[in-house]
């Protein structure tokens, strides 16, 4: 039997800044994982990935990242995605340095 | 210091002009990322986890104050106020914006620097002994040769689409500080019958399949260098595996065909190529050599140094660990540690870069070097100036006395920055350094090189660390494997794996147990960690790591 599909989000880096971004349900690119659209089935995920891939003027390096749905939206399923969501651990740079209410 | 001639300046300017247009076309949507990626990589621009990263070459690790100040300016104007010096004598900026990169490249060109061939399947930045031109044990300065190779390899039409990247290192000293045996080609300057030449080593490398290089020619006359290098690279260019990225490096080609077969092919090719080198390379080499004329050293008394050494214990400790022997006995090679306990190995702030530039200009004949061990060197400092140099370094947080000690750790950027990494390296280095500083043991432990990589590609040289640490992803958790007994010197050796790895929480105590086992087993304080390991082998260290956890935890 095929493995059940684990929930995903579409993620990429912003073309100009390189910031980690996520695709929202209303087709925006957000800096916040909590606002990302969670994709629960493979067909939908592949479609959203394709749509995201068609925006080379906005983003680069589009892929599907595994997440776990939580009370405050998607949470990273792997530590790599957790670092991407936060920023490096040696300096308060990257997302952790940005105000969270924008 | 080599200065760009008109050709060099025009070449870099043209490449920058092309890249500016390429960035514009990418941003305007006329180039896809698939089309743009090889173009940006040709100019050292990567996309990492959180941002772009620009890798700038510091050819053979040599800089002057003007170049260093420009790096500081770039760090402040277009990045976050710091730069990261790497194990390949490059500097990486971790946060540039794509549309700023053309301006950064122009700023680099103003001081005769560039990011060309710091990425991609080309011949990369040629690295050299960081004590070049100053070391007491040196036969000859390797930098003119490195510059000759840089000019030959830059934009070499035959070698822009190699099977994989290709790295060349060169040393002019019998004590190998350039890790020549872990490079695709390693060159050791030697003399035979009074004539200068090279021992040529081929097929070394770290990464997922680490290999110690093999001697392909024990003596190559100096004038034959470029045709011989061209022969090696062109043999590999045809023979190297393009079907499998993991088997494409020349180390695999040498391993699969055998060094004798490769030697025969290279010699054949060399016979064909040699007549095509008209001698222009030798004319050029003479000109380059003149640019690296040694500085006129001062002849002054060293009494001030001696009295400071006697009376100031902090200065004395710094001298004992951070100075190396200069060929002129009244001079010293100053090693500036970028490994303050708890700091990120290899990082320097713009302010620190300027301090180092000022010191080089004022006290060091305007010369700076970057070492593959991620430190900065002032190669020519008169001993009488050392107290002043030390005082300035101390004020800038740059006087950590730990060169070659347990906290002088090489660490790749790891998963804090790198898109390829499987685990973090920097926090492990920070914690080890902080822990041994707390224990106040590192001077008692003595010479001990710890090297950490955050993935199997081994940018942190873990295979040749006396203690090597490799960060992996084991079932979604960071896990750290340990190797012991590696050595990057002329007696190069690959470390042996101790056994199962450790979690991020367990790795620091594990390293501590290894070090305590060494202190327990060494014959006397003069026996280094590496010597003890070579004498006793793995057994006592393995026992300390896996069987005697409780006993060592009590220490």
- B441-452 pLDDT per residue, tens: 999 999 999 999
Alpha helices, H only, B28-178 = 33-42, 65-78, 101-110, 143-153
What tokens does B184 get?
A: 């695709």
Which residues, 6 or more positions from B34, have their beta carbon under 8 angstroms from its beta carbon? none
CA-to-CA dists, residue A7 to A3, A41, A73, B183, B495, angstroms:
12, 7, 12, 43, 41
Q: Does A15 touch chain B (CB under 8 A)?
A: yes
Matching residue, tokens 């790497």: B86
**Closest CB to B50 among A56, A78, A94:** A94
Q: Taking CB atoms and an 8 Å cutoff, what residues of chain A touch B48?
A: 18
- pLDDT per position as a tens digit, B324-380: 999 999 999 999 999 999 999 999 999 999 999 999 999 999 999 999 999 999 999
What are the backbone dihedrals phi and psi of residue B138, each rounded to the nearest 5 degrees, phi first? -85, 140
Q: Quick one: tokens of B92?
A: 């990486």
Q: What is the pLDDT of residue B555?
A: 60
Q: Rounded to 5, what percent of chain B is helix, strand, coil? A: 45, 20, 35
Quick check: B81 contacting A, CB < 8 Å?
no
The C-alpha angle with vertex B17 and arms to B15 and B20, in degrees rounded to 5, equals: 110
d(C-alpha B482, C-alpha B536), whole Å: 17
pLDDT in tens, B150-180: 999 999 999 999 999 999 999 999 999 999 9
Give the pLDDT band of residue B78 (cuts 50, 70, 90). very high
Over residues B506-542, the pLDDT tens digits come to 999 999 999 999 999 999 999 999 999 999 999 999 9
Q: Are B262 and B253 in contact (CB under 8 A)?
A: yes
Q: How many helices (H) does chain B have, and how many strands (E)?
A: 19, 21
B392-429 per-position pLDDT tens digit: 999 999 999 999 999 999 999 999 999 999 999 999 99
Interface of B with A in 463-522 (CB under 8 A): 473, 476-478
Q: Which of B525, B548, B528 is closest to B536 using CA atoms?
A: B528
The answer to whether B50 faces chain A, any CB pair under 8 Å, is yes
Cβ of A15 within 8 Å of Cβ of B27? The answer is: yes
Give the closest residue to B288 by CA, choosing from B219, B335, B226, B380: B226
Rounded Cα distance between B386 and B381, Å, is: 7
How far apart (Å, rounded) are the C-alpha atoms in residues B438 and B451?
A: 20
Angle between helices B303-311 and B386-395 (to 10 degrees): 50
User: Which residues in chain B have Cβ-Cβ distances shorter than 8 Å to A55?
Assistant: none
- Residue B200 clears pLDDT 80, i.e. is over it: yes
Average pLDDT, chain B: 96
CB of A42 less than 8 A from some CB of B: no
Average pLDDT over residues B50-68: 98
**Rounded-to-integer distance, Cα A84 and Cα A46, Å:** 22
Indicate whether A102 pLDDT > 80. Answer: no
Give CA–CA dist B137/A26, Å, rounded.
67
Give the closest-approach CA distance of B243 to chain A in angstroms. Answer: 24
A90–B47 C-beta distance less than 8 A: no
CA distance B36 to B46: 11
Residue A4 has pLDDT above 90, yes or no: no
How far apart CA B543 and CA A6 sit, in angstroms, is 42
CB neighbourhood size of B192 (10 A): 12
Q: Among B402, B398, B400, which residue's Cα sits nearest to residue B352?
A: B398
* SS (HEC) of B292-305: CCCCCCCCCCCHHH
Facing A16 at nearest CB: one of B28, B80, B99: B99
Q: How far apart are CA B330 and CA B348, in angstroms?
A: 29
Question: CA–CA separation, B179 vs B460, rounded Å?
Answer: 13
Distance CA B549, CA B516 (A): 11
How many residue contacts between A and B have a Cβ separation below 8 Å?
74
Q: Do B334 and B381 touch, CB atoms closer than 8 A?
A: yes
Query: Nearest Cα to B142, choosing from B168, B167, B106?
Result: B168
Q: How confident is the model at residue A95 (pLDDT cuts 50, 70, 90)?
A: confident
Please state, in angstroms and rounded to a whole number, the distance separating the CA atoms of residues B320 and B11.
Answer: 45
| CB contact at 8 A, B288 and B360 | no
Q: Is the pLDDT of residue A101 over 70?
A: no
CB contact under 8 A, A18 and B416: no
Per CB-CB distance under 8 Å, the chain B contacts of A52 are none
Chain B positions touching A78 (Cβ under 8 A) are: 476
pLDDT at B62 over 60: yes
pLDDT band (50, 70, 90) for residue B298: confident
Task: Give pLDDT, residue B278.
Answer: 87
pLDDT digits (tens, 9 = 90+) for B104-135: 999 999 999 999 999 999 999 999 999 999 99
pLDDT band at A97, cuts 50/70/90?
confident
Judged by a CB distance cut-off of 8 A, whether residue B430 touches chain A is: yes
pLDDT attached to residue B312 = 98
The full set of domain ranges for chain A reads 8-101
Local structure of B315: helix, strand or coil? helix
């Amino acid at each position: 039997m095929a493995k059940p599909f684990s929930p995903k989000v579409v993620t990429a880096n912003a073309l100009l800044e390189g910031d980690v971004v996520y695709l929202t349900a209303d087709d925006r690119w957000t800096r916040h994982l909590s606002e990302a659209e969670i994709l629960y089935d493979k067909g939908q995920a592949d479609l959203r990935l394709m749509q995201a891939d068609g925006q080379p003027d906005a983003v680069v390096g589009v892929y599907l990242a595994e997440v776990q749905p939580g009370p405050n939206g998607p949470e990273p399923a792997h530590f790599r995605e957790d670092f991407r969501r936060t920023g490096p651990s040696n300096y308060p740079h990257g997302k952790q340095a940005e105000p969270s209410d924008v | 210091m080599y200065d760009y001639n008109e050709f060099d300046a025009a070449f870099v300017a043209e490449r920058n002009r092309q890249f500016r247009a390429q960035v514009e076309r990418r941003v305007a949507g006329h180039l896809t990322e698939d089309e743009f990626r090889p173009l940006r990589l040709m100019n050292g621009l990567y996309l990492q986890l959180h941002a772009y990263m620009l890798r700038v070459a510091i050819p053979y690790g040599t800089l002057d104050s003007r170049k260093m100040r420009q790096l500081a300016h770039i760090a402040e104007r277009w990045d976050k106020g710091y730069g990261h010096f790497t194990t390949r004598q490059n500097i990486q900026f971790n946060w540039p914006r794509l549309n700023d990169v053309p301006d950064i490249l122009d700023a680099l060109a103003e001081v005769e620097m560039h990011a060309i061939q710091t990425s991609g399947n080309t011949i990369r930045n040629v690295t050299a002994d960081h004590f070049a031109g100053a070391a007491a044990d040196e036969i000859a300065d390797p930098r003119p040769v490195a510059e000759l190779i840089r000019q030959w390899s830059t934009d070499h039409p035959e070698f822009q689409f190699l099977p994989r990247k290709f790295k060349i290192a060169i040393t002019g000293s019998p004590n190998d500080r350039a890790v020549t045996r872990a490079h695709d080609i390693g060159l050791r300057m030697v003399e035979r019958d009074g004539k200068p030449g090279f021992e040529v080593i081929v097929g070394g490398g770290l990464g997922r399949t680490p290999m110690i290089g093999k001697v392909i020619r024990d003596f190559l006359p100096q004038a034959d260098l470029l045709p011989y290098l061209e022969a090696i690279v062109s043999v590999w260019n045809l023979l190297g595996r393009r079907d499998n990225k993991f088997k494409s490096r020349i180390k695999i080609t040498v391993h699969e065909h055998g060094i004798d077969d490769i030697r025969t092919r290279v010699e054949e090719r060399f016979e064909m190529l040699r007549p095509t080198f008209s001698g222009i390379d030798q004319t050029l080499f003479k000109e380059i050599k003149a640019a690296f004329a040694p500085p006129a050293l001062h002849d002054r008394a060293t009494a001030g140094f001696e009295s400071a050494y006697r009376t100031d214990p902090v200065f004395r400790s710094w001298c004992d660990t951070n100075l190396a022997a200069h060929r002129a006995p009244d001079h010293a090679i100053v090693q500036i540690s970028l490994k303050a306990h708890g700091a990120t190995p290899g990082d320097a702030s713009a302010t620190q870069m300027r301090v180092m530039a000022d010191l080089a200009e004022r006290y060091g004949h305007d010369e700076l070097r970057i070492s593959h061990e991620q430190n900065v060197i002032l190669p020519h400092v008169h001993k009488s100036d050392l107290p002043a140099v030390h005082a300035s370094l101390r004020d800038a947080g740059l006087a950590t006395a730990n060169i070659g000690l347990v906290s002088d750790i090489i660490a790749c950027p790891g998963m804090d920055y790198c898109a390829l990494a499987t685990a973090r390296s920097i926090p492990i280095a920070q914690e080890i350094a902080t822990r041994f500083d707390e224990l106040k043991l590192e001077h008692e432990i003595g010479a001990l090189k710890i090297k950490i990589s955050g993935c199997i590609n081994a940018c942190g040289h873990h295979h040749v660390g006396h203690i090597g640490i490799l960060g992996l992803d084991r079932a979604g958790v960071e896990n750290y494997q340990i190797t012991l007994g590696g050595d990057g010197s002329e007696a190069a050796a690959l470390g042996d794996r101790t056994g199962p790895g450790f979690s991020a929480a367990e790795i620091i105590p594990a390293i501590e147990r290894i070090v305590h086992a060494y202190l327990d087993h060494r014959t006397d304080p003069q026996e280094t960690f590496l010597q003890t390991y070579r004498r006793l082998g793995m057994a006592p260290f393995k026992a300390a790591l896996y069987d005697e956890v409780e006993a060592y935890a009590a220490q």
